[in-house]
């Protein structure tokens, strides 16, 4: 187990900058016949204790791989490099990417838990839900009776009938009920951090909004930190304290939700916001993003967005932008962010 200095850990646990997960130079790559495919590309980000961080971006932007990298769960032959440091409330910090198999297995449930996309595939169809909870508790040497009391409380918090759910098999519950049962299972070992990869993608609009409301309540009751990964920008704005916008496998912009939504500084963030569909608006007012995202084997030099950007200059094509502070709560990777209002207008709330 790799450690970082205790003094650094204490600094990250104090004040408004209390950090629970710290990513530095985080990359995920796959070797391919035509070259190396980078699906997370040299990412730096701090995740603060108690916050809900939303991660958004187009399909193929690296969202799911970023989620897996946080738990060192990238499957072979993927290669994860850089560092992910977990700062528990007590004790020394842990370098997640350096953990051996058994400590990593324990950390994934007891400290950092994950809800993967697609609840149905997460459950054994031959086992009742009660067996799933008992198996998880036993595998981590938790008191089963105490753990099942917590499971019942979690299911009730998620507006499920605990007895009915625990005695049911996966095929007997609706998609929304299975998704909520999976959230309860992910929290039964009392983790501090919950990472969710597209947890509402297969659900109808009403159930999506319901789960978002429930997650907000769970955060408050159980003092959780959440990383909520989605392609649905309007959905995550109703939940997240901060939002990170991924483009071409790295963060283009990160900021407090209100500031990022109303004063985005990256042209890609603006394009995403302008592309959000509005059922009340005619099709002629839709603003789809032109072009396509870069090939992970052939990420362009300079700014990865320059081929699609109306602001692109020779500087953008030749030199990769560094992340700059817009404010104390907002940062962006763009050479020309102060001038974005002149080049990429932002649709008003009424127009979106």
**Residue 50: is it exposed, middle or buried by C-beta count within 10 angstroms (0-12/13-18/19+)?**
middle
Kindly state the DSSP code that residue 124 receives in the 8-state scheme. Answer: -
Cβ neighbours for 328, distance < 8 A, ≥ 6 positions apart:
none
Q: Which of 195-204, 262-271, 286-295 has the highest mean pLDDT?
A: 262-271
For residue 125, the model assigns a pLDDT of 93
**Other CB atoms closer than 10 Å to residue 177's CB: what's the count?**
22
Cβ(206)–Cβ(149) below 8 Å: no
CA angle 271, 274, 277 (to 5 degrees): 130
CA–CA gap between residue 159 and residue 255 (Å, rounded): 32
CA–CA gap between residue 148 and residue 313 (Å, rounded): 59
CA–CA gap between residue 9 and residue 335 (Å, rounded): 33
For residue 83, is pLDDT > 70? Answer: yes
CA–CA gap between residue 96 and residue 98 (Å, rounded): 5
For residue 5, the model assigns a pLDDT of 43
Over residues 215-262, the pLDDT tens digits come to 999 999 999 999 999 988 888 999 999 999 999 999 999 999 999 999
Residue 325, helix vs strand vs coil: strand
Least confident span in 16-20, 68-72, 100-104, 335-339: 16-20
Domains of the chain as residue ranges with CATH: 6-240 (3.40.50.300), 247-343 (no CATH)
Q: How confident is the model at residue 348 (pLDDT cuts 50, 70, 90)?
A: low
Nearest in space to 80 (alpha carbons), one of 90, 89, 91, 67: 67
For 213, the token pair is 């409301």
For residue 210, the model assigns a pLDDT of 87
CA–CA gap between residue 255 and residue 66 (Å, rounded): 18
Cβ neighbours for 129, distance < 8 A, ≥ 6 positions apart:
123, 165, 166, 167, 168, 169, 170, 181, 185
For 150, the token pair is 């917590």
Tell me the CA distances in angstroms from 9 to 20, 253, 319, one per residue in order.
Answer: 10, 26, 34
Tell me the CA distances in angstroms from 317 to 97, 228, 251, 294, one per residue in order.
Answer: 33, 32, 18, 14
For residue 315, the model assigns a pLDDT of 97
Least confident span in 15-19, 109-113, 228-232: 15-19
Least confident span in 1-5, 29-33, 41-45: 1-5
For residue 133, is pLDDT > 70? Answer: yes
Cβ(183)–Cβ(199) below 8 Å: yes
Over residues 152-211, the pLDDT tens digits come to 999 999 999 999 999 999 999 998 899 999 999 999 999 999 999 988 877 788 888 888
User: Can you tell me the mean pLDDT for 327-340?
Assistant: 97
CA–CA gap between residue 75 and residue 38 (Å, rounded): 14
- Looking at the chain, list the stretches that DSSP marks H as alpha helix, in order from N- to C-terminal side: 6-12, 63-70, 101-110, 129-139, 144-157, 162-166, 175-187, 205-222, 233-237, 257-262, 267-274, 314-318, 340-343
Residue 341, helix vs strand vs coil: helix
């Amino acid at each position: 187990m790799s450690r970082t200095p205790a003094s650094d850990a204490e600094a990250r646990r104090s004040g408004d900058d209390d950090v629970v997960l710290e990513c530095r130079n985080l990359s995920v790559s796959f070797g391919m016949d035509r070259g190396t495919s980078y699906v997370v590309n040299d990412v730096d980000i701090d995740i603060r204790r108690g916050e809900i961080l939303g991660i958004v971006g187009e399909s193929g932007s690296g969202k799911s791989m970023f989620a897996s990298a946080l738990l060192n769960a990238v499957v072979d032959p993927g290669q994860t490099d850089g560092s992910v440091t977990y700062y528990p409330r007590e004790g020394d910090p842990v370098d997640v990417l350096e953990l051996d198999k058994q400590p990593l297995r324990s950390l994934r449930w007891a400290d950092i838990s994950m809800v993967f996309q697609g609840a149905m595939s997460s459950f054994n169809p031959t086992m009742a839900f009660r067996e799933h909870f008992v198996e998880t508790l036993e595998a981590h040497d938790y008191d089963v009776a105490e753990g099942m009391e917590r499971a019942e409380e979690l299911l009730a918090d998620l507006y499920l009938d605990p007895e009915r759910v625990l005695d049911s098999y996966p095929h007997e519950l609706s998609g929304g009920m299975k998704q909520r049962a999976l959230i309860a299972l992910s929290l039964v070992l009392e983790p501090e951090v919950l990472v969710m990869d597209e947890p509402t993608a297969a659900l109808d609009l009403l159930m999506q909004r319901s789960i978002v409301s429930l997650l907000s309540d769970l955060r408050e009751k159980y003092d959780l930190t959440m990383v909520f990964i989605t392609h649905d920008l309007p959905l995550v704005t109703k939940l997240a304290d901060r939002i990170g916008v991924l483009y071409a496998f790295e963060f283009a912009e990160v900021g407090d939700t209100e500031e990022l939504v109303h004063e985005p500084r990256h042209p890609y963030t603006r394009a995403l916001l302008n592309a959000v569909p509005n059922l009340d608006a005619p099709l002629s007012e839709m603003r789809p993003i032109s072009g396509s995202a870069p090939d992970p084997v052939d990420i362009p030099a300079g700014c990865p967005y320059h081929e699609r950007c109306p602001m692109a200059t020779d500087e953008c094509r030749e030199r990769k932008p560094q992340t700059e502070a817009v404010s104390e709560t907002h940062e962006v990777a763009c050479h020309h962010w102060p001038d974005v209002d002149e080049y990429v207008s932002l649709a008003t709330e009424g127009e979106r």
